[in-house]
Structures are given as structure tokens and as C-alpha cells.
Amino acid sequence: MEAAALYVATMLTLAGIYAALAVGLNLQWGLTGLMNFGGLGFVAVGAYTSAILTAGESAQHLGGFGWPWWAAWPLAAAAGALLALPIGAISLRLRADYLAIATLGVAEILRLAVRNEDWLTGGPLGVPGIPRPFEAFGQPWGQLAYLALVAAMVAALFALAQATAHSPFGRTLRAIRDDEEAAKAAGKNPAAFRLQAFVLGAACMGLAGAMLAHFFKFMGPDALDPVTTTFLVWVMLIAGGSGNNFGAVLGAVAVWAVWAATDWLAAQLPGELATRAAYVRLFLIGLALQLILLYRPQGLIGERPPRPPA
Amino acid sequence: MSTQTGAAPPPALEVQGLTKRFGGFVALDGVSLAVPEGSITGLIGPNGAGKSTLFATVAGFLPPGGGRVLLRGRDVTGAPPWRLHAAGLVRTFQIPRPFARLTVAENLAVAAPGQEGERLPLPWFARGRIREQERALRRRAMQVLERLDLAAHADRPASALSGGQKKLLEIGRALMSGADLILLDEPAAGVNRTLLRAIAETIARLNREDGITFLVIEHDLDLVAELCEPVHCMAEGRVIASGRMAEVRADPAVAEAYLGMALLPDAAP
């Protein structure tokens, strides 16, 4: 019973963290049309920022600051935003695909940097001993309390994303996404608006990274995989409904459920088949994405025009 | 700085020796023209004359190679489109460019200047005030849509409009900007006679009642003759004639520019 509760809490916590990532990506892609293929980079800076600020003293990495999580998490979000600022300032003036290239590149650079800058990140050994909030509550209450904290964070991000999407600011983002030249003719400076959306989405990803690090209680280079940290989030957003915050959250939960279930199924296979099944799973996720794009490009719940002000 | 002396007000728009090259191709070869305040000025000329390039360069969409653009005597050469929008100069596009996934009313609302709700973090914290402004904006958008006979489509996505209605939407967005100088790029191209009449009357009325100055690119010369004075004719990146439509039409250089184009297809056996 307790094991089942812990399993469900683990799955839901991870689904919540993915929901935060999907909401961030929806601000960038769904609302603004920014192709960010470097989600991992923003998650990484958020995760390591919070890890280093909160973990105990260690000769293995920079640290020993002993900050509480509630002080470190805003800085993790700020770190994500801070990383987005120069990338956006440089590449958002260029054609849309340059952002995709730039973010992909920066994410790979960061992945190599955290693996090699031992003094800062502990290199391949990573940062262990990251305190998980509410652990003093014991099991399973501590983990359930952490799930509640993640849920509260997701709810806050969701409310912020909704307020953004339904504001004149969000309307201008959608206009720029639909036609940049026409948006200029309508008096908008596309680069300035895009930068704000990009930074905002990156802050969500930085916070998601912090939540991930404190959940794992460890952060190392192998905890961050482009497939699960960047591209799975894209699948979630597209499956759920790009341009719709509800779609982003729904897609995160639904795709995460499928991903976790197939992981469990694959593990039941004997020996070498289990290893191979992991790759089949990747292939199937790719195939599913193709099918969604072909037959239901709007996702489960697509973008809806907002109700006009009464 | 004003180039005018004495009490005469400067023209709404004055273009002086504007040049624009694309590689070896000279699209604008020292264009000079004036758009008098309160006028509906016509801009005609065969395809490829540089009319749309002139619009794009004047409205800040393309950096000029040389020359000056004066908005009511103020040098705005090379200013970005959003600055010019704020200064009261907007353009429309020859092929309509609606925000496809926005509703018709949203398409108009976007174009309103000085929206507080666009400045983060105001939309998060001043929600009541923003909602009030949004209601006012909606009312204004509906008024503009009424004038353009698009009110029934206000809450449909702009992508659902017909070609002619998208042309009207372009004009609607320009009106929402509150601009007093609007550059219209072929407002009547590809629309049926009835809609063409409606568009012509709308332009004339906006000019008469709201005092909006227009610079209009148009290929329908009868429409230009009816609406526009003065008229400038461009060919090969230069203004070859200016004046009243009757004078421009009678100009041998204009006839040659148009005839040269018209004869080309027949030259082949």
C-alpha cells in the first residue's frame, strides 16, 4: 500500500515537473512561435543553481551555502532567465530557425560544461545531498508533501501563463507568431516581445530544473538527457495542444503516463529484449509525434480564441 | 527639420532622393515626392516600378540606401516601423497579412497604440485596469468593423475571411492605429466591383471626415482619377510624372512606361 502510494506520488511529481516545462515551452512556442530545442540547458542551470546553493559542504563541488529551498528556487528561475537573455538578444533578431540552432548548441555546451567543470558541478560525480523539502515528515508523508509543493508551483506557473496568454501582451505575442511583418505594421517591435516571452519561458524551465534536482536529491550530468529533458517536452506540448495552457498540462500528464507505463512494460521483458525495447520506445514516441502532426496537428485541445471582453 | 519656409505647413510626407538597391538591382533610383497634408495622393506605375519598395522603405521595413524621409517636416529616415506607427504613419500590405489565428476583432485590437496591457508585469497585477481598457478597445474595434461592414465576423478567426474581407481588415488595422497618414498598397486589387466601390467610398470618407491623409498605390487608373490628387507615376525606380491625374495621364513618359509594358507580351510571335 505504502509502496503504491510512493510510486504514484513519484509519477505525479515527475508529471508535475514536466507540466512546468510544458507551460514554459508553451509560452515560447505555443504563444510566440519560438523554437527552443535547448530545454535541457535551462533545466540544467536551474537544477545546478539550486543544488549548489542548498547542498551541504563538499570538496567535490562548489557549495556549502546551506540555503533553504524557498530562497534557492527563485534564483533557479532567475538563472534560467539569465541564460535566455544573451541567447535571445543575439538570435531573436535573426530568422526563427537560428534560435533552434542556438538553443540546441547552448544546451550541448552546458551538458559538457557540467560534466567537466568539476570544481563547480562535481563533474561526472555530480552534486549529491540536495535536501528535499519536507523530508522530516517521514515516508510517505514527506513525499506527498513534496508532491503538493510541486503541484502548487505548477498551479502558480499555470495561473501566470494564463494571465499572460489572455492579456494584450499575449495577444501581441500571438500576432507576432502569426505574421511578424504585419505585427511590425501594427506598431510592434517583434524582437522585444519575443525576448520577454523567451526569458519568461526559460524561467519556468529553470524552476522546473530546481524541482527536479530536489526531488532526485542529486544532480549529475547523467540526470539530464536531451531525449527526456528537451524533446519529450515538445511531444507533450504538441500532443496536448500548442497555444493552450490546459493542453500543455494535459499533454505533460498524458504523455508522461504513456512514457512511464511503457518503461514499466519494457522492463518486464526478458534480458536483452528489455534493453532493445528502450530504443523501440523512442521510435514509437517519434512515430506518435508524426501521426499527431499529420492527423491532429492542434493536439488534444488546440488553441482557442479567447472570449471577447464583455 | 522643415524644408518649408514661411507659414506653409510641411507636407504630411516628403520623400527626398530615396534610393534602395538589392545587389545590382536599383529598385529606387532617387525617388522624390510629396504627399500634401489632407490629400489622397495616388502612386501609379507599371509592375516593378518600385512602388511597393518605396512603401516598405518609407515605412521602415527596409533600410534606405540614401535620401531622406520627412514626416511633417521631421526627419524619420530609417526609423523602425513601430516608431513610425507611434508617430502616426502606417502601411498596409498588397497581399493581405492577417494574424490568421487571431479573431477579426483581435486583429484590430493588436494594432491599437500605447496599450498598458502589453507591458509586463502590468497584465499580471493591474488586471482590473487592463480589463477596463480592453473593453474600451473592443468597443473601438467594433466601431471600426461596423464602418467596414465586418462586424458580423468580429469573433471569427481572420483566416476564415474572404480575400476581399482580408483587404478590409488591412484597412481596419491601419485605422485602429489612429494614424493620420496611411500608405495603402493596392486596396482594390482583386476585389469585386461592389467591394471596390465600398473601399473607395470608405477611403474618401475617412479622408473627408477624419482628416486622414492617404498615399495609395493602385492599378485601377479610373479609381485613381476619381479619388486621388495629386498623382505620382513611377517607372524603373524613378518618379517620371507628378500632378493631377489628367496631366499625368497625358504625359508622354507615362504613356511610354505603360505602353512599353503592355506591348511586351505581344512582341513575342
Contact A43, A205 (CB under 8 A): yes
DSSP A92: T
Indicate if the pLDDT at residue B264 is higher than 60. Answer: no
Indicate if the pLDDT at residue A197 is higher than 50. Answer: yes
Provide the strand spans (E) within chain B: 13-22, 25-35, 40-44, 66-71, 74-75, 89-91, 181-185, 213-217, 231-235, 238-243
**Residue A8 is which amino acid?**
V
Residue-wise pLDDT for A84-93, tens only, equals: 999 999 998 8
DSSP three-state, residue B115: coil
CATH homologous superfamily for the domain B13-98+163-263: P-loop containing nucleotide triphosphate hydrolases (3.40.50.300)
Interface probe, candidates A29, A32, A179, A194, chain B, greatest B C-beta count within 10 A: A179
CB atoms within 10 A of CB A287: 10
pLDDT score recorded for residue B7: 65
When CB atoms are compared, the residue of A167, A187, A193 closest to B130 is: A167
Residue-wise pLDDT for A137-190, tens only, equals: 888 899 999 999 999 999 999 999 999 999 999 999 999 999 999 999 999 999
Using alpha carbons only, give the angle A176, A177, A183 rounded to the nearest 5 degrees: 20
Indicate if the pLDDT at residue B218 is higher than 80. Answer: yes
Task: Write the CA distances from A106 to A84, A101, A102, A147, A266, integer angstroms.
Answer: 10, 9, 6, 31, 33
Contact A77, A204 (CB under 8 A): yes
pLDDT band at B261 (very low <50, low <70, confident <90, very high): low
Nearest CA in chain A to B94: A182
Nearest CA in chain A to B87: A187
pLDDT score recorded for residue B38: 96
The β-bridge relationship of strands B213-217 and B181-185 is parallel
Residues of chain A positioned with their CB less than 8 A from the CB of B119: 169
Residue-wise pLDDT for A221-261, tens only, equals: 999 999 899 999 999 999 999 999 999 999 999 999 999 88
Contact A175 B117 (CB under 8 A): no
Q: How far apart are CA A7 and CA A144, in angstroms?
A: 11
The chain-wide mean pLDDT, for chain A, equals 93
Domain ranges of chain A: 2-224
ipTM confidence score: 0.91
pLDDT band at B267 (very low <50, low <70, confident <90, very high): very low
% of chain B at pLDDT higher than 70: 94
A160 in reach of chain B (CB within 8 A): yes
Residue-wise pLDDT for B8-30, tens only, equals: 789 999 999 999 999 999 999 99
Q: What are phi and psi of B14, to 5 degrees?
A: -135, 125
Q: How far apart are CA B35 and CA B181, in angstroms?
A: 9
Contact B134 A179 (CB under 8 A): no
The DSSP annotation for B117-177 comes to: GGSTTHHHH-HHHHHHHHHHHHHHHHHHHHHTT-GGGTTSBGGGS-HHHHHHHHHHHHHHT
Interface probe, candidates B85, B92, B99, chain A, greatest A C-beta count within 10 A: B99
Nearest CA in chain B to A160: B124
Contact B154 A303 (CB under 8 A): no
Is the pTM above the cut of 0.90? yes
